Amino acid sequence: MCDANPTGGLPGKHSERKTLDNVNADLDLKGLICPMPLLKAKKALNELQPLQILRVQATDPGSVRDFSVFASQSGHILLSSTEEGGIFTYQIQKKA
């Protein structure tokens, strides 16, 4: 389900401020409809360490609002929310 990104970040360099390229796990939820993208993302975030970043790809247009509301209510940080060709990509940083 979630795969670590072996190319993220610089070796030996750790900071609390992550760049959008420093993704710790990817989750492909394309084809799933509400509420599954959010439920699976929440489960994946639970498996991450604080301040790590989860990248989620989904095709459900309702996920835009879902992820925005989830981030504001949960304390996780929605670093980015983009759409390209019907694929919505979110980068969420787990709260400290």
Instruction: For residue 79, give the CATH number of its domain.
Output: 3.30.110.40
The active-site residue, picked from 32, 34, 36, 51, is 34
Query: Is-catalytic flag, 34?
Result: yes
Q: Which region among 6-10, 34-38, 77-81 has the lowest average model confidence (pLDDT)? A: 6-10
pLDDT digit string, tens, across residues 51-75: 999 999 999 999 999 999 999 999 9
70 domain residue, yes or no = yes
Ranges assigned E (strand) in the chain: 25-29, 53-58, 77-84, 87-93
31 domain residue, yes or no = yes
Residue of 51, 46, 55, 58 lying closest to 25 (CA atoms): 55
Q: What is the pLDDT of residue 43?
A: 97
Structural domain boundaries enclosing 83: 25-93
46 domain residue, yes or no = yes
8 domain residue, yes or no = no
In the chain, how many domains are there?
1
Give the residue, 3 or 79, on which the prediction is more confident.
79
Count Cβ atoms below 10 Å from residue 60 Cβ, excluding itself.
18
Residues ≥6 apart with Cβ < 8 Å to 90: 41, 55, 56, 58, 63, 67, 78, 80, 81
pTM of the model: 0.77
Confidence of residue 21 (pLDDT cuts 50, 70, 90): low
